[in-house]
Amino acid sequence: MGILIRPARLWCRSVIMACMAITLVYCQGQPAETDPEIQNGSSSGGIAVDTSPETIAAGQDLYMENGCGVCHGRDGSGKGPLAHTIEPPPRDYRDPSAYKQGTSVAEIADTIAAGVGGASSKMPQYLHLSESERTLIAQYIVSLQHQ
């Protein structure tokens, strides 16, 4: 029984991700709608902030599956299980002033791809993620800024 549930979950996730990819392709070139409450005064960097439950859930799944929660915590607090072993400590995504590379969806997605090295951070690059996957994770992270 459990064997049948996992493929169904993966199929659902694939359908959600395909829908998100289609939406992202369609929305490119469209003016981004801005909602001051969602944007919190920052530019979306050309990518509309999508706070739909499906987008946030898909982004959260990818966030957890790719180990973001191990350092930054499931809630984005910067207090994941390994956070105490990292110097400097991981960023608290709930606090927009803690961001060093920008708070927009596009800037966060770029940071996920490039990582943050040097003395200011130990975050690795996540180049194995597609642009749409990085965007979904960034959508989830932006949603944490408003909790």
What distance in Å separates the CA atoms of residue 74 and residue 22, rounded to the nearest whole number?
27
User: Residue 9: what pLDDT?
Assistant: 55
- pLDDT tens column, 114-144: 998 876 678 899 999 999 999 999 999 999 9
Closest CA to 99 of 72, 81, 75: 72
The yes-or-no verdict on residue 13 having pLDDT over 90 is no
Look up the CATH number of the domain holding residue 106.
Answer: 1.10.760.10
Please count the structural domains in the chain: 1
Tell me which residue of 131, 125, 89, 88 sits closest to 109, measured CA to CA.
Answer: 131
- Domain span holding position 121: 2-144
| Predicted pLDDT at 118 | 72
Q: Grade residue 95 by pLDDT with cuts at 50, 70 and 90.
A: very high
What is the predicted pLDDT for the residue at 28? 38
In tens, the pLDDT along 45-81 reads 668 788 899 999 999 999 999 999 999 999 999 999 9
Q: How many CB atoms lie within 10 A of CB 14?
A: 10
CA distance 115 to 110: 8
